[in-house]
Amino acid sequence: MTIPEPDWRVFKEVRGVALDRLCHRILSECRSVCDDDTLPAHSRYLKLYELIHKQDKDIQRAFDDFRRTTAITCLITMWQLGLVTQVELDRFSPDIRHWILPDE
């Protein structure tokens, strides 16, 4: 499904904010791993590598396919990852919100 133009404009704004939120979250988790002096350096490195690998998959699912035809799928993923607020979601048309929250 192709997202309508007004929703596409909102999506582009929300997408940028959501990506920034995810990057902040990832960087915070990375700092926690790096600062964990209870683990040897190599263990922290391996843990950091696993974290980045997992988070790369989340970034790919939510942000890498930037097209109007994939915007709803990306928005659903962003919502599931907790990267979009209810206030931001309310900016979309009722049809788009129904795709994200079908029970409402």
Q: Which amino acid is at 50?
A: E
Plot region of 82 (φ>0 → left; ψ -120 to 50 → alpha; else → beta): left
Alpha-carbon distances, residue 75 vs 9, 16, 29, 50, 63 (angstroms)? 13, 12, 23, 25, 9
Residue numbers of the domain that contains 90:
5-100
Residues 92, 88, 11: CA angle, nearest 5 degrees: 55
Residue with tokens 């690998």: 53
Its pTM stands at 0.88
The 10s digit of each residue's pLDDT in 30-54 is 999 999 999 999 999 999 999 999 9
C-beta of residue 69 within 8 angstroms of C-beta of residue 11: no
> What is the count of structural domains for the chain?
1
Query: Mean pLDDT throughout 75-95?
Result: 95
pLDDT tier, 97 (very low <50, low <70, confident <90, very high otherwise): very high
Question: Average pLDDT of the chain?
Answer: 94
